[in-house]
């Protein structure tokens, strides 16, 4: 399938996923419970997909160890930073935009790692995106909460580098012959184990009401993120530059930030809205 079609399937899956995630926060579903749904459901689905295709789940010890490294140091830590950044940001969309703009990082890194194309005008687009992101990240100083007011930016940047590096590692492993569904299974399986250990460690501090609504939302989160993981991974391998797919992924936030503001009645200033549009314009130039 064409990488652009795959990218836009990822695009729509991403919007659904982040809206559901934000709704779960409104329902006050604990972050650690979200993590379990976020990883356990995809790991089961990718296992079933691999079995149905008759694909071996033994890619070799090197790939398995690399998957564990990605799961612990990039996926789990990146997800923790992403969740906290969304929670502390004045608008969840601001944090998500920074997180997903790792196309700035991966598109340049792909030149050296995979000999991918990136013309000069796309470098100019990257500079414009960074400038616009600086405006998005800026928050007003408030007495006694200045550090917290900026801390969501730091968390979002941690997620930015974790997710970007994860994309590059996945591109390398899959391009080297590891089937996408096998890599996805091992990566997310290890992340599920880590999430379960983290949940058990903090079990007494977690309050979760297993209502029908909460269970439904968690199942929907797991299903939507499964589509997101799969389409993103396949598109990254097929695209001429992994950063192009990451850019389309980031561009979904133009719609997301508007939907979040409309549905959840969150704040969005005119200046930051214009900056969001600036990010999107730069990303469009980057992928043309």
pLDDT band at 145 (very low <50, low <70, confident <90, very high): very low
Check whether 92 has a pLDDT greater than 90: no
Q: What is the mean pLDDT of residues 41-66?
A: 94
Query: What's the pLDDT score for residue 128?
Result: 84
- Encode pLDDT of 234-245 as tens digits: 999 999 899 888
Check whether 266 has a pLDDT greater than 70: no
Query: What's the pLDDT score for residue 168?
Result: 95
Check whether 182 has a pLDDT greater than 80: yes
Query: What's the pLDDT score for residue 54?
Result: 94
Query: What's the pLDDT score for residue 152?
Result: 87
- Encode pLDDT of 267-279 as tens digits: 677 877 787 788 7
What is the overall mean pLDDT for the chain? 85
Q: What is the mean pLDDT of residues 135-150?
A: 53
Query: What's the pLDDT score for residue 144?
Result: 40
CA 274 to chain centroid, in Å, comes to: 23
Please say whether the beta carbons of 249 and 104 come within 8 A.
no
Query: What's the pLDDT score for residue 149?
Result: 66
Nearest to 184 by CA among 62, 50, 27: 50
* pTM as predicted: 0.83
Q: What is the mean pLDDT of residues 39-47?
A: 95
DSSP string, the chain: --HHHHHHHHHHHHHHHHHHHHHHHHTT--HHHHHHHHHHHHHHHHHHHHHHHT--S---HHHHHHHHHIIIIIIIHHHHHHHHHHHHSSSHHHHHHHHHTTHHHHHHHHHHHH-----HHHHHHHHHHHHHHHHHH-----TTTHHHHHHHHHHHHHHHHHHHHHHHHHHHHHHTT--HHHHHHHHHHHHHHHHHHHHHHTGGG------HHHHHHHHHHHHHHHHHHHHHHHHHHHSSSHHHHHHHHHHTHHHHHHHHHHHH-----HHHHHHHHHHHHHHHHHH-
Residue 45 structure tokens: 């689905």
Q: What is the mean pLDDT of residues 228-239?
A: 94
């Amino acid at each position: 399938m064409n990488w652009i079609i795959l990218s836009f399937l990822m695009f729509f899956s991403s919007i659904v996923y982040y809206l559901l995630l934000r709704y779960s926060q409104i329902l006050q579903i604990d972050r650690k419970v979200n993590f379990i749904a976020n990883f356990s459901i995809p790991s089961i689905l990718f296992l079933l997909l691999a079995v149905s295709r008759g694909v071996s789940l033994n890619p070799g010890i090197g790939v398995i160890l690399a998957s564990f490294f990605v799961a612990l140091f990039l996926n789990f830590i990146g997800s923790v930073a992403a969740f906290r950044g969304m929670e502390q940001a004045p608008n969840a969309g601001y944090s998500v935009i920074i997180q997903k703009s790792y196309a700035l990082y991966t598109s340049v890194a792909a030149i050296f790692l995979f000999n991918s194309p990136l013309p000069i005008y796309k470098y100019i687009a990257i500079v414009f995106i960074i400038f616009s992101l600086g405006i998005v990240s800026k928050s007003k100083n408030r007495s006694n909460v200045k550090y917290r007011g900026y801390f969501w930016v730091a968390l979002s940047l941690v997620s930015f580098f974790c997710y970007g590096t994860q994309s590059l590692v996945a591109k390398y492993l899959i391009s080297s012959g590891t089937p996408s569904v096998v890599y996805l299974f091992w990566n997310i399986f290890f992340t599920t184990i880590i999430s379960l250990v983290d949940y058990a460690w903090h079990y007494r501090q977690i309050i979760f009401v297993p209502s029908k609504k909460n269970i439904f939302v968690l199942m929907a989160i797991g299903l939507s993120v499964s589509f997101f993981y799969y389409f993103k991974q396949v598109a990254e391998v097929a695209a001429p530059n992994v950063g192009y797919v990451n850019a389309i992924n980031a561009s979904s936030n133009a719609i997301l930030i508007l939907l979040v503001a409309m549905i959840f009645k969150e704040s969005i200033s005119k200046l930051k809205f214009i900056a969001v549009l600036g990010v999107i314009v730069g990303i469009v130039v980057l992928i043309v």
